[in-house]
Amino acid sequence: MSSTQDGLEGTPARASAAQMAQIKQRAAILSVMATLLLTGAKIVGAILSGSLALLTDALQGLIDVGSTLFTWFAVRVSDKPADDEHHYGHGKVEALAALVETAILFTLAGAILWEAGNRLWTGLIETVSVTPIVIGIMLLSMVVDAIRWRSLTKVAKETGSEALAAEATHFSADFVGSALVLAGLVGVWYGVARADTIAAFAIAAFTALSAYRLGRRTIDTLLDAAPKGVSERLREGAEGVPGVVGVNWLKVRPTGGRIHGEIGITVSRTLPLERVAAIREALTAEFERIEPGAAIAVTTDPVQVDDETALERVLLIALKLKIPVHHVSVHTIGQRLSVSLDMEVEARLTLGEAHEIATRLEAAIRDEFGGETEVETHIEPMETGAPAGHDAAWDTVEDIGKALATESATLKGPIHDIHNVRVRQTLNGLVVNYHCRVDPALDVASVHAAVDQIERAVRIARPQVCRLVSHAEPAIAGPAS
C-alpha cells in the first residue's frame, strides 16, 4: 500500500482528467488486492480462535471483496466520456457504488446485531482461543486498514470520487472494527467471557453509524444537492467579471467528482457579439480558478443598462435590423425626442423599396422611445462594390495639395501642416486622402468642423473632387505617419 501513498504525494493539485482517472483506478485495484489478503488472514484467525467478533470481521472482509471490485468497476465506468445516451457523462455510477456500499454496511451491521443478540438471548458463551497468531492478524489488519483509509480519503478528496470516498468510509469502519475485535480478545484473555460478544455489538453500532453518514452524503449527490459554499463562491466570482451586469440564476450539482451546472448572466444589449463571447470566456476561466474542473454552461441575457444613451439605443436598433446608418443626431425638443439619421441602402433599390426599409426603421425607433418621437431618415445609396481607380497624375496631385494648403490658410482655422496628399482617379471623380496637424488639446468636434470647412471649400474650388478623407494628427506627434 505504500506505493499508493508515494504516488499520491506527487499528485499535482490540478491534475488532468486522464491523470485523475489513472489515480482513482490504481487506488481501487490496490484496495481490491489488500482486501483479498486481509480477508484470507481473518478467516484463518477466526477458525483458530473461535471468536465471533473476528468471524464477523472476516465475513465483512468477504463482503469487502465484492464491494471493492464493484468500486473498481464503478471508477472505471465513471471516467468514460459523455455519449449519445449519457449527455452528462457516467459520473453518477460512483454515487451508485456509494449507495451499494451503504446498503452493504447496514446489512452487515444488522447481521452482527442479530448474531450477538441471539448469543445473549440464549445465554451461549463460546470458547474463544486467544493466540499470538490471532493477535498478529488483528494488528496487521489494523495497520493495513489505516493505510487504506488514509490513502483512499486523500485520493477521494483530490479527485472528488464518490466511490472512493465510500470505500474510505468502509475501511474506517474496518479499522475501528478490528480495534474492537482486538479489545474483545484482550477482554477474553483477562477472563471477561462476554467481551467478544460485547465487541461484536460495538462493531455493529459503529458500522451502522458509518453507513448512515455515507448514505446521507450519497443521497445528497443523487438528489443533486449543491455542495456547500460552491454556488456562493461561483456567484461572487461571476459578479466580479468585467462586463457581467448581474447574475439571474445559478444551478450546480456534483457528478463524478466534478461540478456541473449552468448560469444565466445579464450583459449590456449594446455589446457586439465578439465582446459577449469574450465575457463568456473570462467567466469560464474564473470558474476554473474557483472550482477546477467545473463544467458550467453560460447563458447570456442582453438587457438595457441604466447608463445606456439614446444614441446607443438608436444604433442598436439599426444593428438588429441590419440597416447601415450614420450621422445620427438625437435632440430633445421640449418633452419630445427628435432623431435624424442617414440610412444607406443598395443603389439598385427603387425609392418605394427603400422607403419601406426607412419606415420599418422609424417604427422600431418609435417603439423604443414612444409613439410621439420624431424620426427623420435621409436615404443614401450604399457603395457595395470596389470600383476600380488609379493614382492621379502628378500635376493633379500638386494642384489639389496647393488647394488644400490655400483653403487652410484662408480659413485661418486650427488645421495646418497639410502633408501626405494622395489623389486617386475613379469613375465618380477624384478621391483625396491627406494628413494634417492640429493642437492636441482641441476637442474632436471642433477638429471635425474645421476639416469639414476645408472639404467644402476645396470641393467648390475643384468640382472634380468627389470625396476628401482627412487624417488629423496631434501637433506634437512627431514626423507624419
The pLDDT tens digits of the residues spanning 334-360 come to 888 899 999 999 888 899 999 999 999
- Report pLDDT for 96: 64
Asked which of 91-100, 223-232, 357-366 is least confident by mean pLDDT, the reply is 91-100
Q: Which three cell numbers stand for residue 423?
A: 489623389
**pLDDT top residue among 327 and 151:** 327
- Residue 134 CA, chain-centre distance (Å), reads 54
Give the amino acid at 379. I
Mark residue 227 as left, alpha or beta (left: phi above 0; alpha: psi -120 to 50; beta: remaining): beta
The residue-averaged pLDDT of 437-444 equals 90
Decide if 242 contacts 277 (C-beta within 8 A).
no
- Report pLDDT for 9: 39
| Helix and strand numbers, DSSP H then E, in the chain | 13, 10
The residue-averaged pLDDT of 292-316 equals 82
**pLDDT top residue among 151 and 350:** 350
Asked which of 124-128, 182-186, 367-371, 372-376 is least confident by mean pLDDT, the reply is 124-128
- Report pLDDT for 65: 64
- Report pLDDT for 8: 38
75, 197, 175, 190: which is closest to 130 by C-alpha? 190
Q: Round to whole Å and give the CA distance between 313 and 309.
A: 6
Backbone angles phi, psi at 102, to 5 degrees: -60, -45
The CB-based long-range contact list for 229-235 (8 Å cut-off, 24+ gap) reads: 230/259, 230/291, 233/290, 233/291, 234/261, 234/263, 234/287, 234/290, 234/291, 234/294, 234/296
- Report pLDDT for 94: 61
Asked which of 216-220, 237-241, 308-312 is least confident by mean pLDDT, the reply is 216-220
The residue-averaged pLDDT of 17-27 equals 60
Angle value at C-alpha 209, between 139 and 200, nearest 5 degrees: 50
Query: Is this prediction's pTM over 0.85?
Result: no
pLDDT above 90: residue 432? yes
**pLDDT tens readout for residues 91-133:** 556 666 666 767 777 877 777 677 667 666 665 445 556 667 7
The residue-averaged pLDDT of 78-95 equals 58
402, 351, 400: which is closest to 378 by C-alpha? 351
Q: Round to whole Å and give the CA distance between 209 and 194.
A: 23
Contacts of 108 (CB under 8 A, 6+ apart): 59, 60, 63, 204, 207
Q: Round to whole Å and give the CA distance between 348 and 363.
A: 24
Q: For 251, what's the count of Cα atoms within 13 Å in the CB-facing half-sphere?
A: 7
DSSP 8-state assignment for residue 373: -
21: pLDDT confidence band, cut at 50, 70 and 90? low
**pLDDT top residue among 282 and 225:** 282
Helix, strand, coil tally for the chain in percent (to 5): 60, 20, 25
The residue-averaged pLDDT of 295-305 equals 85
pLDDT above 70: residue 5? no
State the pairing for strand pair 246-255/258-268.
Answer: antiparallel
Task: Output the CA–CA distances (angstroms, integers) from residue 157 to 5, 48, 96, 162, 225, in the order listed.
Answer: 14, 39, 18, 9, 18
The residue-averaged pLDDT of 275-282 equals 90
Q: Which three cell numbers stand for residue 54?
A: 473476528
186, 96, 100: which is closest to 139 by C-alpha? 186
Backbone angles phi, psi at 157, to 5 degrees: -70, -40
- Taking residue 366's Cβ as centre, other Cβ atoms within 10 Å add up to 16
Mark residue 474 as left, alpha or beta (left: phi above 0; alpha: psi -120 to 50; beta: remaining): beta
- Taking residue 287's Cβ as centre, other Cβ atoms within 10 Å add up to 24
Q: What is the DSSP string of 259-272?
A: EEEEEEEEEETTS-
What rounded mean pLDDT belongs to the chain?
77
Strand partners, 341: 377
The residue-averaged pLDDT of 202-226 equals 71
- Report pLDDT for 458: 92
- Report pLDDT for 54: 61
pLDDT above 60: residue 52? no
